[in-house]
Chains A and B, each alone.
Chain A
């Protein structure tokens, strides 16, 4: 066997190990978090009146932290799974998929999501593409600070690629952060629940599919994320 082949096999093995490891850790931690969450709920249910308002509000804070930990673990598993299996190429009707994603996101009453025109039917990996839309849309929703929040999803196509846009009228992202936000664990900290993994998940998926991502933003006015998917 030649050296290159050996090296590749070794790398592949290490990758699998790393992915298994991430899964094992996240599974064990997830189980523990579920136990903690249940016990907390019971304490609140059983003795909320006895322990007083302040303690109940401390328990609520604990609950929020637990929720964040859970989200974090989910993001870590998603991130490690992205490169673990080979890319699928299924035919996807994005209109349906994006509707499903929008349904799965908790959207406050003051925010509306608009899909401009008909989204395309394309060939891609459904789960990974879902991660891209899900993270970008939920960012646009949860960071929105306006009384009437608007998130618009649009696309244009050329012969070689699709360019999608997710536009919001949120707080905007300062220019100096435009490069940094795609790094793992970077969060601009406006939002208690953000894990700093979302955009790095998006970036990793797009790197894998040969797509690109960039943004335009104006402080206090809003941000538009653009990303491309090559037609191959």
Chain B
């Protein structure tokens, strides 16, 4: 059955956040979005909140704790390691792709140039995760 998702968006760029919210606002289904501006803020949110998000959308290039560091921290944390994490980045660097896969990710999305294409790919990702069963925290 289709569920509404709790999504943690870890992204430092204001316009990227606007892009995401604009995409979400035009979807037929409602999702709950929590925003974090970098890895550190995201960890704070995860540690404070009692209920964990269903899905993390993670940018790689961020100040303080970057995406790869954040990923490695949550994959080594027994409480957090099952949260599906999809990378959302403009880097298709092979080193980044393989490091992320080694740490464990549920998807690696290279942001397309055009907003319509971006929206389409976000919509597709969310449409897929809507139908998943999650490990209950």
Chain A residues within CB distance 8 Å of chain B: 23, 27-28, 30-31, 33-35, 37-39, 41-42, 66-67, 70, 77, 81, 85
Contact = CB atoms under 8 A, between A and B. Distances in A.
B81 interface: no
Contacts of A41: 114-116
B111 interface: yes
Contacts of A42: 22, 115
Given A23-B93, A34-B113, A85-B94, 20 more contacts: A23-B91, A27-B61, A28-B61, A30-B90, A31-B16, A31-B61, A31-B90, A33-B113, A34-B16, A34-B90, A34-B111, A35-B13, A35-B15, A35-B19, A37-B115, A38-B118, A41-B115, A66-B113, A70-B113, A77-B93
Interface in B15-34: 15-16, 18-19, 22
A35 B114 contact: no
B108 to A, nearest CB: 15
A77 B110 CA distance: 15
Nearest to A26: B91
Contacts of A30: 90-91
A37 B90 contact: no
Contacts of B13: 31, 35
A38 B111 CA distance: 11
Interface of B: 13, 15-16, 18-19, 22, 61, 90-91, 93-94, 111, 113-116, 118
A41 B91 CA distance: 22
A37 B91 contact: no
Leading 7 A-B pairs by shortest Cβ distance: A35-B15, A38-B115, A30-B90, A41-B115, A27-B91, A31-B90, A70-B113
A85 B95 CA distance: 10
24 contacts: A23-B93, A27-B90, A27-B93, A28-B61, A30-B90, A30-B91, A31-B13, A31-B16, A31-B61, A34-B16, A34-B90, A34-B118, A35-B13, A35-B15, A35-B16, A35-B19, A37-B115, A38-B15, A38-B118, A41-B115, A41-B116, A42-B115, A81-B94, A85-B94
B114 A37 contact: yes
A27 B89 CA distance: 9
Contacts of B93: 23, 27, 77
A221 B19 CA distance: 47
A218 B50 CA distance: 72
Contacts of A66: 113
A67 B13 CA distance: 21
B51 to A, nearest CB: 31
Contacts of A23: 91, 93
Given A23-B91, A33-B113, A38 B61 contact: no
B29 to A, nearest CB: 22
